[in-house]
Amino acid sequence: MGFNQREIRVLLRRLVCFTVLPCMWLFTITNRAVAAEIEPIPVILDTDMGNDIDDVFAMGILHALHSRGECKIVATTVSKNHPLSGPFCDVLNTFYGRADIPIGVLQTGTTSGDGPYLAQVMKPLANGSPAFAHRLQTSNDAPNAVAVLRRGLAGLQDASAVVVAIGPLTNIRDLLESRPDEHSPLHGRELVAAKVRLLVVMAGDFSKPKAEFNIFSDSIAAAKVFNDWPGDVVACPFEMGEWMHYPEMSLEKDFRVPERHPLLVADLATFGGKRNGFMAWDLVAVLHAVRPDRDYFNMSKPGKIDLDSENVTRLKEDNEGKHRYLIPRGGPERVREAITSLASQPPSIP
């Protein structure tokens, strides 16, 4: 039995309609779904680099997540007004192959001490050359942190950014109160409402009535942020660092390349070789900021975080509230493996 030309055309048309087109449609939506899933999260890190060692490793983790395509570091801002805090961030950005990430520094912060490792890491070698490559020589040459925050946010898609603050909340408060400028016609709070989908802060202590460093170092700023931030806030409180220690074994065994590693030099300067690991507050905050949906942690009920007269943080539960805080979930092994693998991941340029 044969087909005439008209019958062949009808058969071909049906073949295209019922097989080829559905396959193309399925291929397109599958590709879109995959693309949406792997779109890197734009992240802004605000750090008091120089006060504690965990900021150093948290920044290392963030760069590892950037290298893996999970996030894109849009800007680094510094909430510690020390001349070497900005250059130290430049060292880490450069070490990980991203010297072009903008760095902003506040000029009148509440913590300005030398800290344990800034001078040691930035100390030149015996021949006078820098131990680690960097361009920024002093924080005084860096632009103001709020200008960098505003410029970074203004260039992002709406509701896309995650801001992670791992120091006193001075810059974050100043961002909220910032006025329209050449970067955006929006007031700071409007700009945040438009661009930021999540603020993660290492702040507070919900397990005992105790004032935590990032809160009491600038409690006015902290209160302002908890009262006025327009979107969702997740706090990584002090007790998460008690639960999650960065283990000594990782420092000894995981860092193989290159020979001089700024994370290890900073760790050595901090502990003088007597390594016992350290509380990983800021590492937990950064991990949650980029991977909020991995069930690493339990979450409190929603509510509103307030400070009392002693700067103790408390969450008043409210189903409509936008604040939550992280709670340990079982044993620390799974999170410990994630943070040690990421912190020791060799630098690479994606």
What residue ranges bind Ca ion (CB under 5 A)? 48, 55, 166-167, 282
Locus of tokens 């490793």: 57
**Nearer Cβ to Ca ion, position 205 or 282?**
282
- Asked whether the beta carbons of 206 and 239 are under 8 A apart, the reply is yes
Give least dist CB 47 to Ca ion, A: 6
**Nearer Cβ to Ca ion, position 89 or 166?**
166
Give least dist CB 168 to Ca ion, A: 9
DSSP string, 201-240: EE---SSSS---HHHHTTHHHHHHHHHH--S-EEEE-HHH
- Asked whether the beta carbons of 285 and 262 are under 8 A apart, the reply is no
**Nearer Cβ to Ca ion, position 183 or 288?**
288
Give least dist CB 259 to Ca ion, A: 27
Locus of tokens 């994606």: 350
**Nearer Cβ to Ca ion, position 80 or 275?**
80
**Nearer Cβ to Ca ion, position 167 or 347?**
167
DSSP string, 97-156: T-TTS-EEE-SS-S----TTTHHHHHPPPTTSS-SS--S---GGGSPBHHHHHHHHHHTS
**Nearer Cβ to Ca ion, position 101 or 236?**
236
Give least dist CB 46 to Ca ion, A: 9
Dist CA 344 CA 261 (whole Å): 10
**Nearer Cβ to Ca ion, position 267 or 303?**
267
Dist CA 181 CA 74 (whole Å): 19
Provide the residue count of the chain: 350
Give least dist CB 93 to Ca ion, A: 17
Between strands 298-299 and 233-236, the pairing is: unpaired
Dist CA 45 CA 82 (whole Å): 17
Give least dist CB 303 to Ca ion, A: 24
Give least dist CB 129 to Ca ion, A: 29
Those residues whose C-beta lies under 8 Å from the C-beta of residue 250, and which sit 6 or more positions away, are 340, 343, 344
